[in-house]
Amino acid sequence: MRPGALGLPVWRVQGAGSGYRSSVILARDLHIEAGIRTLLTGASLNLQPGDKVGLVGRNGAGKTTLMRTLAGELEPVSGHLARSGRIGYLSQESALPELDNPDLSALDRVLTARDIGGLQVRIEEVRRKMGVEDGEARDRLIRRYDRLTVEFEARGGYVAIAEAKKFAASVGIGTDELDQPVATMSGGQRRRVELARVLFQETDTLLLDEPTNHLDLDAKAWLMDWLAGYAGGLLVVSHDLKLLDESITSVLALDNGRLEPYRGNYSHYLAERDRRRAQRLRERKHQDEKIARLEEGIRRFRGSTEKMARRARTWETRVERMRAELTEVGALGKNVTVRFPMPEAAGRIPLEGKGLGKAFGDNVVFLDVDVYAERGQRILIMGLNGAGKTTLLRILAGVEAPDLGEVELGHNARLGYYAQEHEQIKRGETVFAHVRGVSSESDLTLRSVLGHFLLADKVDQDAGTLSGGEKTKLALCQVVLAGPNVMLLDEPTNNLDPQAQRALVDALEHYPGTVILVSHDTDFVAQLEIDRAILMPEGASAYFDEKMLDLVALA
């Protein structure tokens, strides 16, 4: 830590190689707000090539907003921000409205990260026009097509395509998915396409917000190796503790509106954070005791002799100065508390799917899948990426219709569905409107439940502006308030900080209803005492045991 040009502390990390290099992202005294909330104040950082930095903090602390500001998508309220070089930014969510052209194939979408992708799109447009024109117009198109293909080859187009396919395969995009339109892909598939696109981009700096969401074990291992060898600057937000431990060398902790730097990986940060807090507590205790002694002397001598009264006034001035310089000890953050209410009992078979099948165009996702859920069972839907896990869950929830088969609800069955892409969170509606839409409870009760999810101070905020972790909490809050006896959960731990994940596990352990789950989170699944697994795309059902946990990580 050293004073910056404006007299402010600047965090500077030793880059790879010898000596310090020129800055890629330089921030001085940033002040960032979300609505009326101050998320960050007085923040300064200097991110250079070779830096591997993990940005940590609780859900809602402002990590995603800071990343978007550094990427240039948002403007700070005040402060100085300078960027140089090529910056690649992976946002926490890859919703279709954010895509330039959602009808592009997955491969085309990856290729657009470089100029070569735009050139290929123009070549394809000319080729299509050649098929419908004739005469002189067609001759002009042929000449243009020849010029574009020559340029494409000269700029290494075919090599770039091979490289793009390699990145796609490394993050779990299958060969058959490369030609699939992005618009028809699941949220997890789109997320992997965006990750491949950012990594293919040839950047000087990477800003990655939850890059391991929707990745299987092999893809995570590949990503950690790739990031370890990445020569540019890296700032990553992730709740994947293994990624933070293996791929970063420094930590930035965002807490109570302040950034605090730490050397070392995530494990070292946790130990050092506790040590610093203990030290601040000791300093504050010593300061408070000294102030108390002085104030006792002031009370004793204020009405005494003139000499002692003057001394008391001197002590008052000293106390005021000491209070202005007290060591700050940030309050420990509040914890999320998740409690699913006791639902009304459903029949013995609350949910059943018979002969279910689904296809998107020529892509048949699965055929003749049966789902048989008994009251109180925990069922895990398993399968590789693209096997149709999310699609099956959406069909069971009634969000999507099957092409074949049917879903039957049993006696008194009430469904609660959590979608991994936060589809139920609508931009333009307040947080409070979202919970009011699913419950007739009193305003006081709704605000109380939002408080348990640490959303009480955001009741009037546009839900579309929440962070990914906050959207997850709001979506889970909606499920809680709906009082279901059958819960369908699609990757519910994505974007949740460790404390919130533990709270969710505890709530599910005490929930007596039926749970049908999709999750890549091995630790989460291991704590839920799963009864049965449905293996996709075949739809085979099997009793779950601990040996299957290895498959969970691979799925």
Q: Mean pLDDT, to the nearest integer, of 527-554?
A: 85
Question: CB atoms < 10 A from the CB of 220, how many?
Answer: 20
Element containing residue 406 per DSSP (H, E) = strand 404-409
Q: Which amino acid is at 128?
A: R
Among 85-89, 151-155, 194-198, 276-280, name the one with the lowest average pLDDT: 151-155
Amino acid 320: pLDDT = 83
Residue 457 has pLDDT above 60, yes or no: yes
Reported as a single tens digit per residue, the pLDDT across 316-337 is 888 788 777 776 766 555 666 6
pLDDT-derived band at 274 (thresholds 50, 70, 90) equals: confident
Amino acid 532: pLDDT = 92
CB 78 within 8 A of CB 29: yes
Q: Mean pLDDT, to the nearest integer, of 130-143?
A: 78
Angle between helices 306-324 and 266-301 (to 10 degrees): 160
3-state secondary structure of 385: coil
Reported as a single tens digit per residue, the pLDDT across 45-67 is 888 898 999 998 887 778 888 99
Amino acid 370: pLDDT = 94
What is the C-alpha to C-alpha distance for residues 172 and 491, in angstroms, rounded to an integer?
17
CB 499 within 8 A of CB 336: yes
Q: Which amino acid is at 416?
A: G
Count of alpha carbons within 13 Å of 414, Cβ hemisphere only? 15
Reported as a single tens digit per residue, the pLDDT across 221-251 is 899 889 988 989 999 998 787 778 888 889 9
Residue 8 has pLDDT above 50, yes or no: no
Residue labelled with tokens 């995009």 = 173
Q: Where are the domains of the chain?
A: 351-554
What is the C-alpha to C-alpha distance for residues 33 and 99, in angstroms, rounded to an integer?
26
Does the CA dihedral 544-383-399-488 come out positive or negative? Answer: positive
Reported as a single tens digit per residue, the pLDDT across 471-518 is 888 888 888 888 889 999 998 888 777 777 888 888 888 888 899 999
CB 107 within 8 A of CB 157: no
Amino acid 481: pLDDT = 84
Separation of first and last alpha carbons in the chain: 43
Return phi, psi of residue 535, to 5°.
-95, 115
Q: Mean pLDDT, to the nearest integer, of 81-88?
A: 89
Q: Mean pLDDT, to the nearest integer, of 461-465?
A: 82
Amino acid 273: pLDDT = 80
Ramachandran region, residue 62 (left: φ > 0; alpha: ψ -120 to 50; beta: rest): left
Cα 425 to chain centroid distance, Å, stands at 15
Q: What is the DSSP letter of 77?
A: S
Return phi, psi of residue 393, to 5°.
-65, -40
Q: Mean pLDDT, to the nearest integer, of 378-392?
A: 87
Token duo for residue 256: 């109570």
Specify the higher pLDDT residue, 292 or 374. Answer: 374
Q: How far is CA 503 from CA 74, 498, 500, in A?
A: 32, 9, 5
Q: Mean pLDDT, to the nearest integer, of 460-473?
A: 82
Token duo for residue 88: 């690649």
Average pLDDT, the chain: 81
Amino acid 381: pLDDT = 93
Residue 551 has pLDDT above 90, yes or no: no
Amino acid 155: pLDDT = 66
Amino acid 11: pLDDT = 41
Residue labelled with tokens 């921030």 = 27
What is the C-alpha to C-alpha distance for residues 541 and 370, in angstroms, rounded to an integer?
9
Q: Express as a percent the part of the chain with pLDDT over 90.
A: 19
Does domain 351-554 fall under CATH 3.40.50.300? My reply is yes
pLDDT-derived band at 190 (thresholds 50, 70, 90) equals: confident
Token duo for residue 538: 């075949």
What is the C-alpha to C-alpha distance for residues 171 and 547, in angstroms, rounded to an integer?
25
This prediction has a pTM of 0.68
Residue 461 has pLDDT above 60, yes or no: yes
* Beta bridge partners of residue 254, listed in sequence order: 259
CB 268 within 8 A of CB 262: yes
Amino acid 117: pLDDT = 60
What is the C-alpha to C-alpha distance for residues 390 and 186, in angstroms, rounded to an integer?
7
User: Cβ neighbours of residue 515 under 8 Å, at least 6 residues apart?
Assistant: 377, 378, 379, 486, 487, 489, 508, 528
What is the C-alpha to C-alpha distance for residues 263 and 378, in angstroms, rounded to an integer?
42
Token duo for residue 537: 């795309």
3-state secondary structure of 152: helix
What is the C-alpha to C-alpha distance for residues 438 and 479, in angstroms, rounded to an integer?
8
Token duo for residue 541: 């059902």
Amino acid 394: pLDDT = 92
Token duo for residue 107: 């491969």
Amino acid 517: pLDDT = 93
CA dihedral 298, 300, 306, 307 (to 10 degrees): -70
Reported as a single tens digit per residue, the pLDDT across 333-367 is 566 666 777 778 888 999 999 999 998 877 788 99
Q: Among candidates 251, 319, 255, which has minimal Cα distance to 287?
A: 319
Amino acid 402: pLDDT = 93
CB 81 within 8 A of CB 117: no
CB 184 within 8 A of CB 209: no
pLDDT-derived band at 216 (thresholds 50, 70, 90) equals: confident
